[in-house]
A and B are shown apart, each in its own frame.
Chain A
């Protein structure tokens, strides 16, 4: 079982600030997914990164997969209150049929 760490656990910042959250492991992954979960809802898939070193952008969100495919980061530029939520990373192993989630980073953007 891979050890998956997300950091920080909690982050509260002012609207307009930038932030980065991290997902780290000692294992190599086939690919990695990032989800956002809003209160009272299920997780929603944001992106899947596949290639080591890959960078994907989704509006103000930038996702990067580490060169060794063991870690990933999510950078949010000019955070907005709508970005509030639980950000979960989930490594993908092609042999698995289930998703293994990290504990998540709970992000709160203050207006």
Chain B
């Protein structure tokens, strides 16, 4: 296993379009996290899953954002009706529940909304 992988690495879209990102965690990790990082900031927590259950969502996650992890393995993050303010790096991380503070991050998907 080569770590957490995210696809695509870059996405350019027009305002109003929908986009979907995928994250494949480290295979034995049951926790999966999504973060968003804008220029000049550290990553900000969006949501996390334990297996297929979404256990926490940040207030940053507006109604236009939805995340799923249907089989407890890979996860998708969808943004509907994108806005320019959604432009950011979207990072995925995974961990074991017993070591929840040791999170391994993917390289991220950089979204640019024109």
Interface residues of A (CB under 8 A from B): 31, 33, 40-45, 48, 86, 88, 90, 92, 97-104
Cβ-closest chain A residue relative to B31 = A97
Contacts of A48 in B (CB 8 A): 101-102
Given contacts A41-B107, A88-B43, 18 further A-B contacts (CB under 8 A): A33-B101, A40-B108, A42-B105, A43-B105, A45-B102, A45-B104, A48-B102, A86-B42, A88-B42, A90-B42, A97-B48, A99-B33, A99-B35, A99-B93, A99-B101, A103-B40, A103-B41, A103-B42
Could you tell me which B residues sit within 8 Å of A by CB distance?
A: 4, 31, 33, 35, 40-45, 48, 55-56, 91, 93, 100-108, 110
Instruction: Report yes or no: B33 in contact with A98, Cβ–Cβ below 8 A.
Output: yes
Chain B residue nearest to A92 (CB atoms) is B101
User: Helix, strand, loop or mixed for chain A's interface?
Assistant: loop
Contacts A40-B107, A42-B91, A42-B106; is A99 near B45 (CB within 8 Å)? yes
Interchain residue pairs A-B with the least CB separation, the first 5: A42-B105, A101-B42, A98-B45, A88-B42, A104-B42
